[in-house]
């Protein structure tokens, strides 16, 4: 076949050719630029007189924000009737009216000082406005931590070694200091050709890593892979760990991987304040850029709480944080968790809940099941805590007025926790609305427990990307029967009290962009558009509609944090936390891939633009 011939100018090589062709046109290009500028100025001042790009402080104290020309009702209020409007009116930090532009202006002249002029701003054509997005289960500082050495893209042990080597070359200070710890997160042996756990020996193949302290957490945070230098520093390891595993080689020597409770044996240095500040900054910057205005932190140590408290006092929390306190102890530790309600200069910090753990994760066969694993019949997984101990702790936290949020992956963990919750909730005078206990993950449940969690009014807090990350191996682990009660988000929603199911990401286990969870929830597809069930999606009957998913990421998440009277909807009286997206992800007829392509144009908290511009 012949290549189509390219136009050539005889006697001119390609580089000078370009110059020769374009040089004479330069004056005309300048003219074009001038015309474009004049057109822009004309549109800005004469066609859309009120519209302007605004960022942060430039917004007036009160304003009206409308989608496009105010007629396409692109504001999703997520009110009881899922009403759409064209405009919202913002007075300082709250929404004072919604409706058409005229409605909002009329409301302003009626209720406020009519003299003050109210400016109207418009989004770009096609953009929509939704309430500020919440992540009901994530790990704020760990996000920043993971970002400094992310490993989740590595497809083999060799790639991990190469990544660590590059990290050392990029960080000469760490390279020079042979006592420095190299810490990373994100490895996942199920993505490697071997599919088996790595060992300490694996690090030694890279000369730069030999004799160094290396600790890498598994993608789910449920296993640590350490180097020989770390193993050497660990004096006398126990033979067994309750609720944990020390992996060993053929001769019984620890091989370098510690699972669940055994991870506590690794003598990790504590994060310094400077490290926490760095991780915090990364997390806040990234969160705002993807439309998050509120995050529930699913494991805040007393040190972490002090750190966030200082940020709140200094007024440096750009978004709202709802912390679940945690101390790794079987002895009651409620006295170590301060209760903070609407705390700090901007009233953005809340601490009134705690987090407890039961089992491990499915990927490392750590999820506690009622019957043996289908692909590992010698194990039913790990309960990290005795049921009686857990019950005592829950009783203590209930008595002291803490919301109790418990990590449950396997059907056994979910059953044990529902038994405990049911016992307390069935006592006279106990009100589930007041206590609002939550199950974090609610991942694999007996069908009877899918019904029971709803009947009791316990809030399921789920992570749709876990379904699409685990779908490639979950059925192998669980078999064809148990899988029916796994990642069953639509069933959970339908059964739950008032349809309340909250969505989160569990970042850094998954990505920070909440639209990844929205996409997974509505499509049950990987980001490549496939699934074990092809393009139909994995058990698509358990998908949520877009309206249900948005509700679960806004007002339901707010409910799960006792904040449904303050945020999560765009109706008068609520905080003006909102996100402007560049396209309509809510249209059920638009291809799901558009969700992944959507960009956040602006994120506003308390009525002020904290990221982007309108
Ligand atoms: C595959 O998709 C079909 C059609 O949507 C659905 O009925 C079926 O349950 C799905 N099967 C699995 C294993 O996801
Ligand atoms: Zn988590």
**Whether the predicted pLDDT of 227 surpasses 80:** yes
Instruction: Name which residue leads in pLDDT, 45 or 146.
Output: 146
| Pocket perturbation via mutation, ligand 1, pick of 489, 532, 533, 537 by most ligand atoms within 8 A of CB | 533
487 lines ligand 1 (CB under 6 A): no
Ligand 1 lined by 536 (C-beta under 6 Å): yes
Ligand 1 atom with the smallest distance to the CA of 540 is 5
Task: Report the SS3 class of residue 292.
Answer: strand
The pLDDT of residue 110 is: 79
pLDDT in tens, 267-300: 999 898 999 999 999 999 999 999 999 999 999 9
535 lines ligand 1 (CB under 6 A): no
The answer as to CATH 2.30.40.10 being correct for domain 39-132+569-614 is yes
Q: Mean pLDDT across the stretch 187-210?
A: 94
- Over residues 491-502, mean pLDDT: 96
- Average pLDDT in the chain: 90
CB 581 within 8 A of CB 601: yes
When pLDDT is cut at 50, 70 and 90, the band that residue 37 belongs to is low
Give the pLDDT confidence of 16-27 residue by residue, as tens digits: 333 333 333 444
Q: Is the pLDDT of residue 211 over 60?
A: yes
18 lines ligand 1 (CB under 6 A): no
| More confident site: 453 or 108 | 453
Please, are residues 344 and 312 in contact by the beta-carbon 8 Å criterion?
A: yes
The domain over range 142-265 is classified in CATH as 3.10.310.70 = yes
Q: Higher-confidence residue: 8 or 134?
A: 134
- Output the pTM of the full model: 0.87
Q: Which residue is closest in CA terms to ligand 1's atom 4?
A: 536
478, 491, 539, 543, best to mutate for ligand 1 pocket (most atoms within 8 Å of CB): 539
Helix, strand, or coil (residue 40) = helix
- Residue 18's pLDDT is 32
C-alpha 600/C-alpha 298 separation (Å) is 25
- 534 CA from centroid of ligand 1 (Å): 9
Query: pLDDT (tens digit, 9 = 90+) per residue, 41-64?
Result: 544 444 343 444 444 447 899 999
- How far from 281 is each of 301, 323, 324, CA to CA, in Å? 18, 17, 20
List Cβ neighbours of 323 (8 Å cut-off, separation of 6 or more).
296, 297, 300, 304, 305, 308, 349, 350, 351, 353
Tell me where in the chain the CATH 3.10.310.70 domain(s) lie. Answer: 142-265
CATH 2.30.40.10 domain range(s) in the chain: 39-132+569-614
Find the length of the chain.
Answer: 614
pLDDT, residue 34, reads 62
What integer pLDDT is reported at residue 101 of this predicted model?
93
First to last CA, the chain: 51
* CA–CA gap between residue 546 and residue 588 (Å, rounded): 7
């Amino acid at each position: 076949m012949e290549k189509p011939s390219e136009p050539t100018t005889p006697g001119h090589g390609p580089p000078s050719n370009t110059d020769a062709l374009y040089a004479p046109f330069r004056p005309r290009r300048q003219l074009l630029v001038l015309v474009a500028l004049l057109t822009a100025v004309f549109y800005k001042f004469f066609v859309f007189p009120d519209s302007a790009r605004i960022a942060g402080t430039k917004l007036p104290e009160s304003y009206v924000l409308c989608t496009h020309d105010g007629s396409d009702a692109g504001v999703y209020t997520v009110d009881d009737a899922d009403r759409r409007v064209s405009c919202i009116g913002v007075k300082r930090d709250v929404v004072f009216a919604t409706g058409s532009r005229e409605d909002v202006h009329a409301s302003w002249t009626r209720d406020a000082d009519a003299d003050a002029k109210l400016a109207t701003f418009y989004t770009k054509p096609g953009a929509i406005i939704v309430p500020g997005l919440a992540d009901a289960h994530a790990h704020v500082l760990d996000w920043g931590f993971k970002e400094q050495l992310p490993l989740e893209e590595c497809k083999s042990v060799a790639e991990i070694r190469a990544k660590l080597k590059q990290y050392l070359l990029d960080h000469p200070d760490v390279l020079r200091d042979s006592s420095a710890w190299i810490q990373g997160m994100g490895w996942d042996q199920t993505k490697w050709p071997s599919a088996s756990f790595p060992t300490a020996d694996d690090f030694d193949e890279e000369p730069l890593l030999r004799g160094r302290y290396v600790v890498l957490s598994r993608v789910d945070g449920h296993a640590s892979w350490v180097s020989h230098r770390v193993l050497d520093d660990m004096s006398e390891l126990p033979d067994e760990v309750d609720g944990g595993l020390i992996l060993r080689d053929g001769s019984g020597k620890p091989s370098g991987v510690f699972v669940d409770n055994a991870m506590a044996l690794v003598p990790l240095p504590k994060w310094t304040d400077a490290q926490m500040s760095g991780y915090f900054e990364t997390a806040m910057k990234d969160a705002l850029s993807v439309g998050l205005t509120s995050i529930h932190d699913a494991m805040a140590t007393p040190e972490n709480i002090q750190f966030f408290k200082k940020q709140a006092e200094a007024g440096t929390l750009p978004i709202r944080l709802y912390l679940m306190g945690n101390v790794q102890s079987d002895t009651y530790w409620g006295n170590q968790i301060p209760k903070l309600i609407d705390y700090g200069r901007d009233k953005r910090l809340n601490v009134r809940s705690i987090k407890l753990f039961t089992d491990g994760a499915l990927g490392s066969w750590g999820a506690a099941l009622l019957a043996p694993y289908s692909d590992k019949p010698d194990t039913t997984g790990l309960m990290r805590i005795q049921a009686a101990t857990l019950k005592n702790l829950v009783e203590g936290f209930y008595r002291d007025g803490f919301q109790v949020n418990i990590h449950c992956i396997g059907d056994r963990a979910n059953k044990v926790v529902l038994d405990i919750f049911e016992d307390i909730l069935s006592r006279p005078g106990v009100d589930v609305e007041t206590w609002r206990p939550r199950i974090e993950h609610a991942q694999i449940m007996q069908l009877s427990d899918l019904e029971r969690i709803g009947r009791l009014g316990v809030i399921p807090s789920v992570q749709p990307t876990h379904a699409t990350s685990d779908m490639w191996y979950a059925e192998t682990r669980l078999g064809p029967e148990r899988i029916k009660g796994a990642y069953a988000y639509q069933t959970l929603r339908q059964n739950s009290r008032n349809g309340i199911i909250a969505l989160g990401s569990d970042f850094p286990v998954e990505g920070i962009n909440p639209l990844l969870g929205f996409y997974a929830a509505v499509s049950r597809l990987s980001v490549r558009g496939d699934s074990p069930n092809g393009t139909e999606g994995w058990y698509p009957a358990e998908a949520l509609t877009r309206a249900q998913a948005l509700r679960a990421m806004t007002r339901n998440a707010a409910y799960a944090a006792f904040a449904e009277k303050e945020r999560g909807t765009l109706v008068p009286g609520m905080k003006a936390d909102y996100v402007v997206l560049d396209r309509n992800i809510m249209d059920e007829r638009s291809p799901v891939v558009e969700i992944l392509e959507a960009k956040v144009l602006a994120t506003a908290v308390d009525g002020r633009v904290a990221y982007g511009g309108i």
